[in-house]
Amino acid sequence: MQKFRSYFRFLRLLLRMQHQTEDLIQQHEIPLSWLKAKLTRQQFLILSGVLVGLTTGFASVLLKTIVHFITVLITHDYHFRYQLMFYLIFPFCGLMITALVVHYLFKGKDGKGIAPILHEIANHSARVPAYKMYRQIIASGITVGFGGSAGLESPIAVTGAAIGSNYATTYGLPYKDRTLLLAAGSAAGIASAFNAPIAGVMFAIEIILAGVVFSDFIPLIIASVAGALVSKMILNEQILLHFNLQRNFDYRNTPFYLLLGICCGLYSRYYALMAHRVDRFFKRFQSTHTIRKAMVGGVMLALCCFVFPPLFGDGYGFVKTLANEGPDRLMQISLFAPLIRHQWALLAFVGSIALVKVFATSTTIYAGGSGGNFAPSLFAGAFVGYFFSRLMVDLHLFPLPVANFTIVGMAGVMSGVLYAPLTSIFLIAEVTGGYDLFIPLMIVSTASYLIVKRFSPYSLEISEYVREGKIFTRRYDSNILSMLQVKDLVDCTGPCIRPHATWDEILAAIQHDNHLCWAVTDEQNHLLGIITFEDLKTHIFPHHNEKSGCIAEKLMKQVPVTVQIHENMNHVMEKFDASGQWCLPVLQGEHYMGMLSKSAVLDAYRITLKHSMEG
């Protein structure tokens, strides 16, 4: 009971800190507006990078402290005989509480993961809803704190992105600067999560700014350093992921590192396929069955954690145990403790955890919990690397340094799951305290990335958004087109012609119109066909004697293809190219809205490109 009273006192303290922070922001809004007027753009962006980085760093510290506090609270002074309470009760409760909070407190607004942030950049001018500045902290803190098998890094990155975007919006910064500060917040989040500022910058460049042309990265670097400094000064090292390098790189192990990279790539593909299947399973639940979905997922997650205790929480503590002490300590707290003296049982235990990890993580995320794939990919990579190297040693093939392969495997799987090889390389190099493994990190990460790219051009998290044209890719023409909206370019001024209109009525309708294509619609405004100037040309010349008998119904032709008012512009351009038409009718449902010309699209493309280059 004393522990729960301490927990509620801690929550009250957090709420008090939140109110004090809001008051502090309001007090400093006027001085910052004054500074914005006095400083140059570059100077204000540097100042903004510092402020966004510091704020994100404190948010990261808050989130990780909440998770650490909850974990210590529910696990303190318990022993193996209480394992049922650990691994059956708490993960289930975490998912249920998170689902209730999201459903009732946030009105079902989820938006978790990096992909929605990329969607805001591409479609909402990098304006992120304000609730994402705190929603991820609350939901992810509950989920992971109670044992959800997910990571905190993606929520921290989303929180930082929301902080940067809302800061830029508050001070009226343009789209280019707003996007830069959004990326700076994400960089600061990753940097503060691992105390790895270089990895934070690489993450922002590879993931957040993919498909966005930028040359000004100074605020990005400054924000990342500021976030890492906050984490360094406040957080206890036991909360952070940290390793000490065991053995230096031996060039004779290069073929085995290459083979490990291939294995990490194949495992990453398995990760994506399994996550997709779990996602499809939980999508069968209707939106009104949120609690039922969390209940089913909670039972599945609890069973996974009960059988394999290292799946409990983000798993960083178990990864450090595996790298520094081996799997014996992990097996001691599991149901398989009696088999601990059997060498192959230990190896099977490690391999099984790697295979089940993706199922536990996907269940946590898609059943209603909150978290990301950042930490799970590192966790799985450590177990894949350990399994591979230990197998080589036990088969007496080659005396590989198991600890080094465990560390490098983390970069391999992370590179394959997130499609971020540079982030993976620099992150593991930083958290190990040196760059002695830089060469094998490059080999494993690159090999894994190339393997998964053969199967799918985009990562698990963003592939669906890419198919729907909702986010930017590295195809810059496509990015510019996706910023255009059909509803903004459709021409509604052209006259509509009725099917029984006579030749004189048709001429009267179009004689003062400059268009070359007209719609034929009925009384309910349903599109029946189109009449082009080419169709009228033969009836205009004097030698033609059928003018009096012409009616619109005879002149019109069937529409080759139509466009919906909310359709993605990339799909629209594909329709223009496939049909060979210069004008296409625009519908909303079945109702005719107007004509969209290729000229209007190309003009808007040119203007948007010019503005994006000018910022």
| Measured CA distances, 415 to 210, 211, 447, 453 (Å) | 15, 19, 9, 11
Mean pLDDT estimate for the chain:
82
The mean-pLDDT minimum among 221-235, 474-488, 537-551 falls in: 537-551
DSSP string, 267-320: HHHHHHHHHHHHHHHHHTS-GGGHHHHHHHHHHHHHHHHHH-GGGSSS-HHHHH
Average pLDDT over residues 328-334: 83
**Which residue has better confidence, 396 or 220?**
220
**Would you list the domain boundaries of the chain?**
1-38, 40-239, 251-289+302-472, 479-614
* pLDDT above 70 (res 599): yes
Q: Quick one: pLDDT at residue 81?
A: 47
Average pLDDT over residues 239-249: 62
DSSP string, 470-486: -S--S-HHHHHHHT--H
**Kindly report the CA angle at 115 between 360 and 263, in degrees rounded to 5?**
50
Rounded distance between C-alpha atoms, residue 65 and residue 429, angstroms: 25
Q: What confidence tier does 80 reach under pLDDT thresholds 50, 70, 90?
A: very low
Is the distance from CB of 72 to CB of 3 less than 8 angstroms?
no
Rounded distance between C-alpha atoms, residue 458 and residue 445, angstroms: 16
Q: What confidence tier does 317 reach under pLDDT thresholds 50, 70, 90?
A: confident
Rounded distance between C-alpha atoms, residue 208 and residue 471, angstroms: 10
> What burial class does residue 477 get, using C-beta atoms within 10 Å of its C-beta: 0-12 exposed, 13-18 middle, 19+ buried?
exposed
Q: Quick one: pLDDT at residue 54?
A: 92
Q: 3-state DSSP call for residue 151?
A: strand
Domain 479-614, CATH: 3.10.580.10
Residue ranges of E strands in 325-398: none
Percent of the chain with pLDDT over 90: 30
Q: What are 457-464's contacts with CB under 8 Å, separation 24+?
A: 458/419, 459/272, 459/417, 459/418, 459/419, 460/271, 460/272, 460/275, 460/276, 460/373, 460/417, 461/113, 461/114, 461/115, 461/373, 461/418, 462/114, 462/115, 462/118, 464/115
Number of residues assigned to the chain: 615
Close Cβ partners of 15 (under 8 Å, ≥ 6 residues apart): none
| Helix/strand/coil percent split, the chain, to 5 | 70, 5, 25
Query: Identical fold at 40-239 and 479-614?
Result: no
The tens digit of pLDDT for each residue in 357-378 reads 999 999 999 998 889 899 999 9
The mean-pLDDT minimum among 232-236, 309-313, 337-341, 475-479 falls in: 475-479
Q: Quick one: pLDDT at residue 22?
A: 45
The mean-pLDDT minimum among 178-182, 199-203, 413-417, 465-469 falls in: 465-469
Rounded distance between C-alpha atoms, residue 223 and residue 231, angstroms: 13
Q: Quick one: pLDDT at residue 18?
A: 47
Cα 147 vs. chain centroid, distance in angstroms?
22
**C-beta atoms surrounding 608 within 10 Å:** 15
Question: φ, ψ for residue 564 (rounded to 5)?
Answer: -85, 150
Structural tokens at position 312:
């409990």
CA contacts within 13 A on the Cβ side of 483: 24
**Which residue has better confidence, 25 or 125?**
125
Domain 40-239, CATH: 1.10.3080.10
Cα 349 vs. chain centroid, distance in angstroms?
31
What residues form DSSP beta bridges with 564?
587
Q: Quick one: pLDDT at residue 414?
A: 96
The tens digit of pLDDT for each residue in 94-119 reads 999 998 888 887 776 666 788 888 88
Question: φ, ψ for residue 557 (rounded to 5)?
Answer: -130, 160
- Largest Cα separation within the chain, whole Å, is 102
Is the distance from CB of 96 to CB of 291 less than 8 angstroms?
yes
Percent of the chain with pLDDT over 70: 82
* pLDDT above 60 (res 29): no
What is the reported pTM?
Answer: 0.81
* pLDDT above 70 (res 24): no
Rounded distance between C-alpha atoms, residue 140 and residue 190, angstroms: 15
Q: Are strands 517-521 and 496-497 parallel, antiparallel or unpaired?
A: parallel
Close Cβ partners of 181 (under 8 Å, ≥ 6 residues apart): 45, 48, 49, 52, 164, 165, 167, 168, 173, 219, 223
Architecture of domain 251-289+302-472: Orthogonal Bundle (1.10)
| Element containing residue 575 per DSSP (H, E) | helix 569-579
Burial 73-94 (b: 16+ CB within 10 A, else e): ebeeeeeeeebeebbbbbbbbb
Is the distance from CB of 301 to CB of 364 less than 8 angstroms?
yes
* pLDDT above 70 (res 34): no
